[in-house]
C-alpha cells in the first residue's frame, strides 16, 4: 500500500475517532506493561498552501508515477492564479507558486503523498496522522528514556519539516 497505515485523514474507513482509539489503545497497553508514555501533538502551518511543487513531483516520481502523468500534474500545478472578490470588487490576479488547490479531488491525495514519508524520519516514535495533525508517541521504562527519545525524534521532525519547507503552528 502506498499510503502510510498511520495516516487516518481523507481515507475510507478512517477517522479522527479511529486515530484516537488507536493512540489510546497503545497508551493503555504501554501503561499495563509498566511503561511511561509521552505524546507530542503537532499541527502543520498552512499545510495545503505551502506544498512545494518540485518536492511533490519528486516524491511522486519516487513512488513510481510515470513521466506523462508527472508532466500532466506539473502542468496542473504550474501557472495557477488567484484573485479575491470583496463586495463585488475584484482584486488583481496573483500567481500561486506553491500549494495545491483545496476543494479539488486531487488535493487531499497529493497532500497525503507529500507528508507520507514523515514517519520514516522517526527512530523511536509511533505516529498517528490525521491530515496535517500528527501525534508522536514514545514509551519507555523511565521518564528520562522517553524524554531523550522524543527529543531525538523532534529533532528529526524539525529536519523533515525544513527539507519539505514546512512550519509548525
The answer to whether residue 5 is domain-embedded is no
DSSP state of 142: S
Split into its structural domains, the chain has a count of 1
pLDDT for the residue numbered 156: 98
Question: Which residues 6+ apart lie within 8 Å of 80 measured at CB?
Answer: 95, 96, 101
Is the pLDDT assigned to residue 94 strictly greater than 90? yes
The answer to whether residue 119 is domain-embedded is yes
Is 104 strand, coil or helix?
coil
- Convert the pLDDT of each residue in 37-89 to its tens digit: 999 999 999 999 999 999 999 999 999 999 999 999 999 999 999 999 999 99
pLDDT for the residue numbered 80: 94
Is the pLDDT assigned to residue 169 strictly greater than 80? no
Residue 160: CB atoms within 10 Å? 17
- Convert the pLDDT of each residue in 106-135 to its tens digit: 999 999 999 999 999 999 999 999 999 999
The answer to whether residue 8 is domain-embedded is no
> What average pLDDT does this structure show over 14-21?
95
Question: Which residues 6+ apart lie within 8 Å of 70 measured at CB?
Answer: 57, 60, 61
The answer to whether residue 7 is domain-embedded is no
- What would the grid cell of residue 48 be? 495545503
Confidence of residue 102 (pLDDT cuts 50, 70, 90): confident
The answer to whether residue 3 is domain-embedded is no
pTM across the whole model: 0.90
End-to-end CA distance of the chain: 30
Q: How many CA atoms lie within 13 A of 140 on its CB side?
A: 15
| Domain enclosing residue 116, as ranges | 16-164
The answer to whether residue 136 is domain-embedded is yes
The answer to whether residue 1 is domain-embedded is no
C-alpha distances in angstroms, 31 versus 38, 42, 98, 105?
Answer: 11, 23, 43, 41
pLDDT for the residue numbered 89: 94
pLDDT for the residue numbered 1: 77
The answer to whether residue 130 is domain-embedded is yes
pLDDT for the residue numbered 162: 96
Is the pLDDT assigned to residue 149 strictly greater than 90? yes
**Mean pLDDT for the chain overall:** 96
Amino acid at each position: 500500500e502506498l499510503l502510510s497505515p498511520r495516516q487516518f485523514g481523507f481515507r475510507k474507513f478512517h477517522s479522527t475517532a479511529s486515530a484516537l482509539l488507536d493512540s489510546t489503545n497503545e497508551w493503555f497497553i504501554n501503561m499495563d506493561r509498566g511503561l511511561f508514555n509521552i505524546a507530542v501533538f503537532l499541527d502543520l502551518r498552512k499545510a495545503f498552501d505551502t506544498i512545494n511543487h518540485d518536492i511533490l513531483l519528486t516524491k511522486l516520481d519516487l513512488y513510481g508515477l510515470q513521466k506523462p502523468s508527472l508532466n500532466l500534474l506539473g502542468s496542473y500545478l504550474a501557472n495557477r492564479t488567484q484573485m479575491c472578490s470583496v463586495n463585488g470588487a475584484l482584486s488583481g490576479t496573483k500567481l500561486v507558486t506553491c500549494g495545491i488547490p483545496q476543494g479539488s479531488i486531487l488535493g487531499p491525495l497529493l497532500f497525503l503523498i507529500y507528508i507520507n514519508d514523515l514517519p520514516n524520519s522517526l527512530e523511536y516514535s509511533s505516529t498517528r496522522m490525521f491530515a496535517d495533525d500528527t501525534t508522536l508517541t514514545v514509551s519507555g521504562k523511565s521518564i528520562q528514556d522517553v524524554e531523550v527519545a522524543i527529543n531525538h525524534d523532534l529533532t528529526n521532525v524539525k529536519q523533515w519539516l525544513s527539507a519539505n519547507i514546512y512550519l509548525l503552528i
